Amino acid sequence: MGIRGGTVSQSYTAQYEILWSAIQETLEAPKAKIEHSDYSAGVIIATTGLNFWSAGTRFTISVRNVGNSTTVEISAKPKNKITVVDYGQGTREIQRIFQQLEEILASAASDKPHKENEKTCPACGAKLAKDAKFCPECGRKMEE
Ligand SMILES: [Zn+2]
């Protein structure tokens, strides 16, 4: 796990779309509010409120394919700009997110080893039948 400032990055062998949906699931637990989510750019911006892990934090999460692995990078900034930046606090929150993400990945791997009849739309991330020709959500034509 690489740590610099308020940013932590971690690489996984899981595919991009698996990580993408695991991150969405991870963010549900701390009741994070997803403010921006762009599947094709691999960027999620989420904020947590006052009552959870801290006085409110804005997370920027980036997901990208690097060779055969997928790298997830999360940075945290206090929502309140007056707050003195505490990189230690932000880093602990990020590590908690990674911990949850890894639990979700582990349970996903054991619960449903193969979803062979499903694929994920590369444009919007919607789940669709493996033989679908078009995405029902965004209309993208599927490659063979
Ligand atoms: Zn789509």
pLDDT tens-digit profile of 97-123? 999 999 988 887 766 545 667 888 888
Report CA(31)–ligand 1 centroid distance (Å).
25
Sequence ranges of the chain with CATH classification 3.30.530.50: 2-113
Assign domain 2-113 one CATH number from 3.50.50.60, 3.90.226.10, 3.30.530.50, 3.40.50.970.
Answer: 3.30.530.50
Q: Give the pLDDT score at 99.
A: 92
Residue segments in the chain with a per-residue pLDDT below the cut of 50 = 51-52, 113
Report CA(136)–ligand 1 centroid distance (Å).
7
Report CA(39)–ligand 1 centroid distance (Å).
10
Q: What is this structure's pTM?
A: 0.65
| Reduced 3-state DSSP string for 72-135 | EEEEEEECCCCCCCCHHHHHHHHHHHHHHHHHHHHHHHHHCCCCCCEEECCCCCCEEECCCCEC
Residues with CB under 5 Å of ion ligand 1 are: 121, 123-124, 126, 135, 137-138, 140
